[in-house]
Amino acid sequence: MTPQDRAEKAAQSMWDRDHASHWMGMELIDVSEGRAVIEMSVSQHHCNGHGMCHGGVIFALADSAFAFACNSRNQATVAQHNVITYIASGRMGDRLRAEATEISLTGRSGITDVTVTNQTGSVIAEFRGMSRAIKGTVFDEA
């Protein structure tokens, strides 16, 4: 199995069981080893009392892209620590795109950066996730 085949199979296996991302209206756009792209359109139910996309929704989008990038090698991997910096607000009708790129993988620990942009390419948020591999795989490779 090639690394790309493994990444795609791991992503499909996770996506089929990821009820939270589906519920929020996210779409898996692309995945490869150590990388993932997820998009979503901001609807009224994603907005806070200021009429902006809720920060927790933006965090969830970035966290989902992070998860797919981290698990792309078929090694079960979870978040250990995440931090996000909001740069601009998302608005109703915006199409948000979270692009996750693995920066470092040493032993069981990884660092993945996620940039969230809108449809014009403006940066909405920068997210850094630290991951930890755990026992198990995403799918049975036997």
Spell out a b/e string for 66-84, using b for 16 or more CB atoms within 10 Å of the CB, else e: bbbbbbbbbbebeeeebeb
Query: Mean pLDDT, to the nearest integer, of 50-70?
Result: 97
Whether residue 42 has pLDDT greater than 80: yes
CATH 3.40.50.150 fits 3-133, yes or no: no
pTM equals 0.95
Mean pLDDT of 32-43: 98
Question: Sign of the C-alpha dihedral, residues 30, 132, 128, 15?
Answer: positive
Print the SS3 string covering 91-141: ECCCEEEEEEEEEEEECCEEEEEEEEECCCCCEEEEEEEEEEECCCCCCCC
Q: Look at residue 5 and give its three-state secondary structure.
A: helix
Q: What's the pLDDT tens digit per position in 94-128?
A: 999 999 999 999 999 999 999 999 999 999 999 99
What are the tens digits of pLDDT across the range 1-30?
999 999 999 999 999 999 999 999 999 999
Pairing assessment for the beta strands 95-106 and 77-86 based on DSSP bridges? unpaired
Q: Are strands 109-117 and 95-106 parallel, antiparallel or unpaired?
A: antiparallel
Give 3-state DSSP helix, strand, coil % of the chain, rounded to 5. 30, 40, 30
- What residues does 86 pair with on adjacent strands? 125
pLDDT tens per residue, range 106-115:
999 999 999 9
Mean pLDDT calculated for residue range 24-52: 97
The domain limits of the chain are 3-133
pLDDT given for residue 81 in this prediction: 97
